[in-house]
Amino acid sequence: MNLSENQYDVIVIGAGPAGLTAGIYLSRAKIKTLILNSGIAGGQIVLTHKVANYPAFEDISGFELAQRMLKQAQSFGCKVRNNINITHLDLTSDVKSIEINSKETYTAKAVVVATGGRARELGASGEKKLIGRGISHCATCDGEFFTDKEIIVVGGGNSALEEAVSLTQFAKKVTIVHQFDHFQAFESAIREAKEHPKIDFLMESVISEFFGDDGLTGVKIKNLKTGETQERTIEGVFVFIGYVPRSEFLNGIVEVNKWGEIITDERLATNVPGVFAAGDVRQKKIRQITTAVSDGTIAGLSAGEYIQGK
């Protein structure tokens, strides 16, 4: 690969809705753009069975929506590298450099960090060894494995309630376990879950322990109000309690808050000149596909203005 082929105007790290939108805006403006992504394009939305609140699409899978975004970015000339591992980076110099897979180095005048987040774990005993062996964070990926079985969904936000409803197409019964006495979701999602005949609720409760060796066999559930515990035989638990921002790879290069979320200004610029952040990885209150797309727009335009000023 020639040196000129390694040089870009802007590098976007992450190919979720925020990163792909930044790629669309930058490439359409004839700004040479590369998106580097650790997994497959789409980020967390590819795990969503149905997206019903994205404008102009009444009912579309997260995977299909992500593929449309990817195709649009590539149609404007944006290059996308998936399944890469960042092994070294320098974001503080005027010319930013990012090494991937310990062998290729790319440079750019500006960088947009749009790495999103990863599924948050409960921290309960026995959890880590049983992830992927009965504990899942993806209804679309694993729902079919629990056909005609009883399962538990943990969480009280939109994702938990919406995925609980989607899982009823496989499971014979879904129990939602939530630590509070109320839900943090849209009223439509709450109503749909409460009205579904296959869904039960355990409020003000948490899973304190998972049982099983090669696979999940049961859980211990604690009522936070009474302190009482119960053990339940179960083979499937789906956990939807939010995400942890994927910012640790930055190693303190940019300023983050106590939760690891990148701090930005209204232009989505970080404290490091030429470095911007967009989507769920940055400090913000509302996390939706539409807000990620908005972030990608602002970060892309801001990065374009930055390099033109340089």
Q: Enumerate residue ranges in the chain where pLDDT < 50.
A: 1-3
Q: Identify the H or E element spanning 152.
A: strand 150-154
Sorted by where each starts, the structural domains of the chain and their CATH numbers stand as 3-118+243-309 (3.50.50.60), 121-239 (3.50.50.60)
16-69: per-residue pLDDT in tens? 999 999 999 999 999 999 999 998 899 888 877 778 789 998 888 889 999 999
What pLDDT is stored for residue 2 in this prediction?
Answer: 46
pTM of the model: 0.78
Dihedral pair phi/psi, residue 230, rounded to 5°: -140, 150
What pLDDT is stored for residue 47 in this prediction?
Answer: 73
What pLDDT is stored for residue 101 in this prediction?
Answer: 93
> What is d(CA 193, CA 169) in angstroms, rounded to the nearest whole number?
13
What pLDDT is stored for residue 59 in this prediction?
Answer: 82
Q: Where are the alpha helices (DSSP H) in the chain?
A: 3-6, 17-28, 62-75, 127-130, 139-142, 158-167, 187-195, 289-309
What pLDDT is stored for residue 13 in this prediction?
Answer: 98
